[in-house]
């Protein structure tokens, strides 16, 4: 989500980062369980009547169009990660990458589904996803977009990316593939965690723009529950929003461009980049700042980068890539 003006708010931030996705994860998992339970009921009824169940579960690689995207990608992503391969017939690297992805879909045996989108035939989808070059590979988990990589990659590197994607899908969104994703098969429903009133109050304060109240509320939750991921994420976002209050977007970016050695303005620009949805730009700016500074300035840039990692979520592939880049400039 792009900010409408230089003064940003919690709604803008929630459109750019993952707190909404964390809160939606329980909903997505619950819907997936309901869908699986309904398919299990239908399969049991079909078996009782002597009718064989449909075999569409073996379809691990699917061609997706603008007409089928909602059902085949968005709805399916509540049950299993959907990896999207944007390709075209004329694209040489696509012809190298696509068979690798298709082979991995078979190898992973239902832990993810591969959706292939021809950008020439589905230009609206390519435009909506901001595809500027192909091959491009993204994923959708519980309706949330997760950028993966662009260009050809080796099977070994893709396996690492897929393993991380599957881990994030299971741990953050409660979405898992494998046999559980097959129609007609059920798994035990995960117990629903009761809503935490203190956490709800913190979210409400953040939504209403009461940043000081939200920060205090999230810290109170973390005092009682130090490992609460949702509270950590909410606190990081509230602190970020508090930092950018009153900043002028254009002025900060102009100052950052004209004075790369001004660490304070680089930190402000990175905050604004992140809130504007330019996650890789924010990370890259801070990694570059760490690389060109020393002493307290370097520590300030490094610590701000770690804070922004918390905003996005430490398992996010963009965070993992930025951690690698940070290690290179530090060591």
Catalytic site positions? 91, 94
Cβ atoms within 10 Å of 288's Cβ, excluding its own: 16
d(CA 179, CA 187): 9
* Number of other CB atoms surrounding residue 130 within 10 Å: 10
Burial of 137 (0-12, 13-18, 19+ CB in 10 A): buried
The H-or-E segment that residue 140 falls in is strand 136-141
Strand 113-118 and strand 82-87: the pairing is parallel
Q: By the 8 A CB rule, do 31 and 326 touch?
A: no
Euclidean distance between CA atoms 253 and 276, whole angstroms: 12
The reply to whether omega before 135 is within 30° of 0 (cis) is: yes
DSSP β-ladder status, 82-87 and 144-150: unpaired
Long-range contacts of 89-98 (CB under 8 A, 24+ apart): 89/118, 89/120, 90/120, 91/134, 91/135, 93/134, 93/135, 93/151, 93/152, 94/134, 94/135, 96/152, 97/135, 97/137, 97/152, 97/153, 98/135
Q: Which two tokens stand for residue 256?
A: 């950052």
- Element spanning 85, H or E: strand 82-87
Give the contacts of 44 (CB within 8 A, at least 6 positions apart). none
């Amino acid at each position: 989500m792009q900010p409408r003006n230089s003064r940003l708010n919690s709604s803008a931030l929630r459109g750019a980062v993952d707190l909404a996705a964390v809160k939606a994860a329980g909903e997505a998992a619950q819907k997936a369980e309901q869908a699986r339970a309904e398919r299990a009921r239908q399969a049991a009824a079909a078996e009782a009547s002597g009718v064989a169940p449909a075999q569409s579960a073996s379809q691990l690689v699917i061609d997706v169009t603008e007409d089928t995207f909602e059902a085949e990608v968005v709805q399916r992503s509540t049950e299993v990660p959907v990896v999207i391969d944007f390709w075209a017939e004329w694209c040489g690297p696509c012809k190298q990458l696509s068979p690798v992805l298709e082979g991995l879909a078979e190898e992973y045996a239902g832990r993810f589904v591969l959706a292939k989108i021809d950008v020439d035939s589905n230009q609206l989808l390519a435009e909506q996803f901001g595809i500027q070059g192909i091959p491009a590979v993204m994923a959708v988990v519980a309706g949330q977009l997760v950028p993966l990589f662009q260009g050809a990659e080796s099977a070994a590197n893709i396996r690492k990316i897929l393993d991380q994607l599957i881990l994030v899908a299971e741990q953050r969104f409660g979405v898992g593939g494998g046999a559980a994703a097959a129609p007609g098969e059920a798994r035990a429903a995960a117990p629903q965690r009761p809503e935490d009133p203190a956490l709800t109050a913190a979210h409400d304060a953040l939504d209403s723009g009461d940043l000081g109240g939200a920060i205090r509320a999230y810290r109170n939750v973390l005092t009682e529950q130090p490992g609460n991921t949702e509270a950590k994420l909410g606190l990081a976002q509230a602190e970020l929003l508090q930092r950018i209050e009153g900043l002028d977007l254009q002025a900060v970016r102009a100052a950052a461009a004209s004075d790369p050695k001004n660490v304070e303005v680089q930190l402000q620009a990175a905050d604004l980049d992140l809130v504007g949805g330019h996650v890789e730009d924010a990370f890259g700016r801070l990694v570059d700042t760490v690389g060109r500074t020393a002493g307290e300035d370097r520590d300030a840039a490094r610590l701000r980068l770690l804070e922004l990692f918390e905003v996005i979520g430490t398992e996010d592939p963009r965070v993992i890539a930025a951690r690698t880049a940070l290690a290179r400039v530090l060591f």
